[in-house]
Amino acid sequence: MMKKITYLALTLVATGLTACANSPENGVSNNTNMGQAQCLPAEAKKLVGHTGLSDEQIKQKTGSKIVRTLTPNQPATMDYRIERITVIIDPVTNQIKDASCG
């Protein structure tokens, strides 16, 4: 009798946990983009050497939603954001020295 009660209790707990789990409507999970804009790394690298690009132009070229502009050796947070591009610009020449997603 005790085994039946234990089995029943475990079954109810497992069923309850399964009911709480999120599942996509089509049965396939794709959490990589979740409807956000996404920076394209290959396009980001193509910006190196350019000068005079506006934030809006950078967004259009890379698919990014956020542009973070830094100078060489300027500290920045290390959090990764799929929708952000980080652009390193030489303060003297205004030339893009590096561009990367995140």
What is the secondary structure of 25-56 as a DSSP string?
A: TTS---TTTTT-----HHHHHTTTT-BS--HH
Q: Is residue 60 part of a domain?
A: yes
Q: Is residue 7 part of a domain?
A: no
Domain count, the chain: 1
What's the pTM value of the predicted model, to 2 decimals? Answer: 0.65
23-80 pLDDT tens trace: 445 444 444 555 668 999 999 999 999 999 999 999 999 999 999 999 999 999 999 9
Q: What is the mean pLDDT of residues 70-95?
A: 97
Q: Is residue 22 part of a domain?
A: no
* Predicted pLDDT at 37: 83
* Predicted pLDDT at 39: 98
Q: Are strands 84-89 and 96-101 parallel, antiparallel or unpaired?
A: antiparallel
Q: Is residue 65 part of a domain?
A: yes
Written as one letter, the residue type at 63 is G
Owning domain of residue 41:
36-102
